């Protein structure tokens, strides 16, 4: 059995978006190894029913657990909103989601205590951000709006050509997103601006890839929050407190696995990360489905004494 400190951090998302969290993790924790599973074949999670997403969380969590990870990060807001509590009850490693860290960063950033959140339909409908913000500061008002097409725009931008992603993220304007992006973005964001928010949570791990364009629409006075940095901080603290951090001499080895096309994942993932993923492995959805998983319904409603 491997020393726990040498084990990787398991991270998963519905696809490529969670790599924005991996980018922060690797830069904040340069000695840690990451094992990332992108469930590209079943992306997007956003429009799915919470029960189905919970089932995916259990399957992927079981798969990652079988690879001897020391901590699990659910790098997807939709999956965190539906399945974080269940994953924490089910798996014997610490499980960290992206909603609470984003909520905490927003509560710390806001001055007028009016916070906007954009995310997938599933995330917004769950009310997870409002609950998390209220738990930290009941005086902060949250205004949420689903922005599902932003996920499609990121996915399409990534697949279009090699310059599309770079232009999405650059300071300058670009041909790909205009003018339809700005029209759509105004539809999503104008109501939040009218509500007088001074802070906007990018409540989907795909959205940091659009942050330059979103900032242009909301204006410079609104502070954008991505949970990635705060999540990395929480991971570091959890590992340190438990004595599970990788030794300073450790040479990290990252592994990337997808339920979709490994070659495409390698190409697009390397561009999001800014460094090469190396060869990406494939895992079939059927393999995940075959893993023995408890019934999410009964797990979700079980009281602690019943577990």
Strand order in the sheet with 95-96: 95-96, 71-74, 9-13, 34-38, 255-258, 281-282
In this structure, are residues 58 and 293 in contact, taking their beta carbons and an 8 Å threshold? yes
Q: Which is nearer to ligand DGL, 7 or 126 (CB)?
A: 126
Encoded one letter per residue, x for contact with ligand DGL by CB under 6 A and - for no contact, window 191-210 reads -------------xxx----
Q: Does 43 bind ligand DGL (CB under 6 A)?
A: yes
Q: For residues 51-80, which are near ligand DGL according to CB under 6 A? A: 76-78
Collapsed DSSP state (helix, strand, coil) of residue 4? helix
Q: Does 13 bind ligand DGL (CB under 6 A)?
A: yes
Number of other residues whose CB lies within 10 A of the CB of residue 193: 17
Q: Has 43 been annotated as catalytic? A: no
User: CB within 8 A of 238, min separation 6: which ones?
Assistant: 71, 94, 96, 244
Q: Which is nearer to ligand DGL, 70 or 206 (CB)?
A: 206
Catalytic, out of 25, 34, 37, 76: 76
Total number of residues that touch ligand DGL (CB under 6 A) = 17
Q: Which is nearer to ligand DGL, 36 or 244 (CB)?
A: 36
Q: Does 14 bind ligand DGL (CB under 6 A)?
A: yes
| Rounded-to-10 torsion of CA 229, 219, 211, 45 | 90
Q: Has 76 been annotated as catalytic? A: yes
Q: Does 82 bind ligand DGL (CB under 6 A)?
A: no
* Binding footprint of ligand DGL on the chain (CB under 6 A): 13-14, 17, 43-46, 76-78, 119-120, 123, 151, 204-206
Indicate which residues carry an active-site annotation. Answer: 76, 204
């Amino acid at each position: 059995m491997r020393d726990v400190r040498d084990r990787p951090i398991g991270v998963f998302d519905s696809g490529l978006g969670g790599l924005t969290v991996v980018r922060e993790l690797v830069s904040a924790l340069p000695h840690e190894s990451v094992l990332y599973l992108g469930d590209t074949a079943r992306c997007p999670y956003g429009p799915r029913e919470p029960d189905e997403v919970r089932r995916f969380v259990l399957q992927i969590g079981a798969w990652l657990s079988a690879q001897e990870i020391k901590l699990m990060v659910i790098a997807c807001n939709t999956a965190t909103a539906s399945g974080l509590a269940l994953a924490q009850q089910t798996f014997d490693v610490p499980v960290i989601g992206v909603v609470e860290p984003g909520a905490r960063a927003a509560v710390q950033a806001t001055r007028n205590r009016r916070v906007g959140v954009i995310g997938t339909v599933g995330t917004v409908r769950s009310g997870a951000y409002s609950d998390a913000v209220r738990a930290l500061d009941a005086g902060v008002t949250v205004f949420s709006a689903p922005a599902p097409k932003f996920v499609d725009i990121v996915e399409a931008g990534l697949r279009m050509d090699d310059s599309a992603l770079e232009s999405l993220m650059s300071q300058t304007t670009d041909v790909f997103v205009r003018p339809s992006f700005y029209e759509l973005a105004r539809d999503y964001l104008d109501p939040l601006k009218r509500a007088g928010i001074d802070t906007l949570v990018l409540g989907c791990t795909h959205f940091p890839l659009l942050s330059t364009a979103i900032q242009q629409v909301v204006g410079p006075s609104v502070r954008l929050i991505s949970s990635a940095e705060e999540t990395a901080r929480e991971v570091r603290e959890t590992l340190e407190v438990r004595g599970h951090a990788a030794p300073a001499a450790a040479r990290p080895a990252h592994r990337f696995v997808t339920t979709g096309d490994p070659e495409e994942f390698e190409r697009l993932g390397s561009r999001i990360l800014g460094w090469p993923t190396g060869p990406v492995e494939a895992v079939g959805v059927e393999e995940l489905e075959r893993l023995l998983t408890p019934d999410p319904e009964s797990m979700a409603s079980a009281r602690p004494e019943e577990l």
